[in-house]
Structure 1
Amino acid sequence: MPTFSYTARLICTAAAALLLAGCGHRQDTGDHEYSRAQMRIVGSSTVYPFSSYVAEELGATTDLRTPVVEATGSGGGFKLFCAGVAEDTPDVTNASRPMKPSELAMCRGNGVEDVSQIMLGFDGIVIGQKAGIPAMDLTREQLTLAVADRVPRDGQLVSNPYKKWSDIDASLPDRDILIYGPPTSSGTRDAFEELVVDYGAEHIDGYDGQAPTIRQDGKYVPSGENDNLVVQKLAQNPNAVGIFGYSFLEENRDKIQAARIDGIKPERALISSGEYPISRSLFFYVKNAHVGRVPGMDEYVQLFLSDPMASPRGALKTLGLISLPADELEAMRQNWQQRKPVTKDSLENPSGKG
């Protein structure tokens, strides 16, 4: 008999729940403990290294079993997480962008009413290339023209004719455009489209503010949720560039380097301040109905938000996490202690400021 992975079972279960919504969502209304003794965490590949480190530390320093952490992409994580309140659904989902209002509605429609949103730090989206060659200096408009399916030409939008970077601007390298980027399930893809492509469409004459979709002619290659594979491809191919989170640059500076974006390097202080143009916040979401039923959930969140992990002096800094200011980190701890539920307003203002 074939053995299916936990991810495969979750995907099948989530799909069934969504397709058969008319038959009712999967909801466990009891208050008993679940039979499984391990937390299950899904979601963002960008947050995965941080989440995995905390999970391993929890298993190593307590009597609790090490949580299972899987990189399914932010969008894929929300689909699994929001499938219902039940033992075979995840307890936590990681995200490299805020939950969308539509995803909050999906959760609520499936009975996942009580969810806590934790902002854990900041990240920059890096445009990387092989180390040791001249570093690129790109604008967001140039990036938009490199990845767009359609571009303005003579007053019309036409299929993207740009084959080389120098076709876009003579100041750019005379080499083929080859971009390894995140797939549609990825929060990095969502953030890139919002911070780069939407911006480009607003600042390039001819788009009239209507952002294009990503080209599918082989110049942009969706590369799955494993950013380490993108790093390996860049290290082997000086003509390629890749799109990934800052933490993967930090871990692989001997192999890859980052392009400047609008003249600014991706550096910790510039990402934290928002001066680096492709900066974003990182999150995880906790299914509070599972707290008390699955061992270790409260301990995991508290450990993640502790100074030894998440502060500027914490262990996660070595993996590339750009920490929250002390007051915002303390606010996240208080939100968790109060089990403050996510709302439409908190999605728009995740730090709680203002």
Structure 2
Amino acid sequence: MMQTASAAEMRGFVHISGSNTIRPFADAVADRISKSGKIKRPWVESTSTGGGIQLFCQPDTAESPDLVNAARPMKQAEFEACNASGIKRIVELKIGYSGLVLAHAKKGPTLELTRKELYLALSGNVPDPKCGDCDTLVPNPFKTWKDINPSLPDTKIEVIAPPFGSGVRELFEETILKAGCESFPFIAAWRETQRGKYREACFTLRKDGAYIEESGDAVVGLLAKSVGSVGFVPYKQYVNNTARLSAVSIDGVAPSVESIAANRYPIARPLFVYFKADHVGKVKGLREYLDELTSDKAWGEKGYLAQLGLVPMPAGERKLYAADAKQLKVMSAPTETVAAARISRAVQQADR
């Protein structure tokens, strides 16, 4: 272990890999700690969450990342891969939240949708609407929102959504498609009995033009030009374009800082950083990076990361994660269970 830590120490700067979503936040913190000139600016690279964790979990060398940005919790298999390659002292640090907003042009008709309705609008095959009690799927027959629900506008279904392979697509699949398709009990049952059939039913999208793959700034432009279309944009991008866009409430919840931070808004996700405890104090700048990231001037309600689009955690939760980072509290299990426990602790502290 001493040999690999020395190799990382000799590198002389922090190496950060991972999520494209978190990249702007990591760059902002890197800029802050290197302003004095006493610390080399950390090297921040975008490799996607999965790709970054894969690099992070390889046997430790001078080229290995000290820290990985993750737009989702680390998976069980990834945690085991880290342990198998000798990366066993990992600290989890949740840094805040991000959200996707389903939006449309201001001039378009107002929409309030459920995840079930979104699934029915976008899936390639859907439960046969002519046979309410059947467990049969048919090619998607719905052309307008009104076809799905008589109370919805009689406008053509046209949804601009994340492209396949993107990190945002993973969030879209998990929070919208999976939740929507599992609202049908017979499809939910397939998850245990017919896994292939379940995945095909939930994650195969229609290819008749109702689903349009696009991401980034292009979505705002397309929505502004196409009245009646709806599209998914990052929360910060929506906030910056409220003069042109309106948000669609999903399952009765509108997107806001409060609804995202409280995990009430359906298309929200926590953002994480994982770092190697053995590198702190050895890799120059790593402790300074972590201290800056977990300061209120960075990740607080009025911090500079909020200005870039990070939705801050409640103060109690920030305090808990900052303490874990300071004390190098090593994770002993995949993070979904650990994260839930921390939220509970934060709520209990806030109530005291």
> 1:139-150 to 2 correspondence within 5 Å?
139-150=114-125
Q: Deviations over 1:110-164 (max 9, x none)?
A: 3322211111112333113334433422111011122323211132123334444
Q: Does 1:213 align with 2:200?
A: no
Cα offset, 1:231, TM superposition: 3.7
- For 2:250 and 2:298, the matched residues in 1 are separated by 30
2:165 aligns to what? 184
2:300 aligns to what? 311
Q: Report if the CA contact (8 A) 1:34-1:293 is conserved.
A: yes
- For 1:207 and 1:83, the matched residues in 2 are separated by 38
- For 2:235 and 2:112, the matched residues in 1 are separated by 17
For the residue of structure 1 that corresponds to 2:203, the secondary structure is: coil
- For 2:277 and 2:154, the matched residues in 1 are separated by 51
Distance of aligned partners of 1:241 and 1:52 in 2 relative to their CA distance in 1, 3 Å threshold = farther
- For 1:36 and 1:198, the matched residues in 2 are separated by 43
Distance of aligned partners of 1:230 and 1:104 in 2 relative to their CA distance in 1, 3 Å threshold = farther
Q: Does 1:267 align with 2:256?
A: yes
Q: Deviations over 1:172-207 (max 9, x none)?
A: 451242322153351x33333332222222323652
* Partner AA of 1:175 in structure 2: K
> 1:159-198 to 2 correspondence within 5 Å?
159-170=139-150, 171-186=152-167, 188-198=168-178
Match of residue 314, structure 2, among 322, 325, 340 = 325
Unaligned segments of structure 2, at least 5 residues? 191-197, 346-352
For the residue of structure 2 that corresponds to 1:203, the secondary structure is: coil
* Partner AA of 1:340 in structure 2: K
- For 1:28 and 1:166, the matched residues in 2 are separated by 65
Distance of aligned partners of 1:321 and 1:107 in 2 relative to their CA distance in 1, 3 Å threshold = same
1:257 aligns to what? 246
Distance of aligned partners of 1:113 and 1:248 in 2 relative to their CA distance in 1, 3 Å threshold = farther
1:137 aligns to what? 112
> 1:60-139 to 2 correspondence within 5 Å?
60-61=35-36, 63-139=38-114
Distance of aligned partners of 1:162 and 1:59 in 2 relative to their CA distance in 1, 3 Å threshold = farther
For the residue of structure 2 that corresponds to 1:146, the secondary structure is: helix
Match of residue 343, structure 1, among 309, 323, 332 = 332
Higher helix share: 2
Cα offset, 1:282, TM superposition: 1.6
Distance of aligned partners of 1:73 and 1:243 in 2 relative to their CA distance in 1, 3 Å threshold = farther
* Partner AA of 2:138 in structure 1: V
For the residue of structure 2 that corresponds to 1:277, the secondary structure is: coil
Larger radius of gyration: 2
1:296 aligns to what? 285
Give the structure-1-normalised TM-score: 0.80
Q: Report if the CA contact (8 A) 1:94-1:285 is conserved.
A: yes
- Please identify, of 48-57 and 243-252, the stretch whose mean Cα deviation from structure 2 is larger: 243-252
Q: Report if the CA contact (8 A) 2:91-2:275 is conserved.
A: yes
Q: Report if the CA contact (8 A) 1:182-1:243 is conserved.
A: no
* Partner AA of 2:117 in structure 1: Q
Distance of aligned partners of 1:117 and 1:322 in 2 relative to their CA distance in 1, 3 Å threshold = same
Quote the sequence identity (%). 32
- For 1:234 and 1:38, the matched residues in 2 are separated by 43
RMSD: 2.8
- Please identify, of 39-48 and 266-275, the stretch whose mean Cα deviation from structure 2 is larger: 39-48
- For 1:192 and 1:96, the matched residues in 2 are separated by 13
- Please identify, of 33-42 and 318-327, the stretch whose mean Cα deviation from structure 2 is larger: 33-42
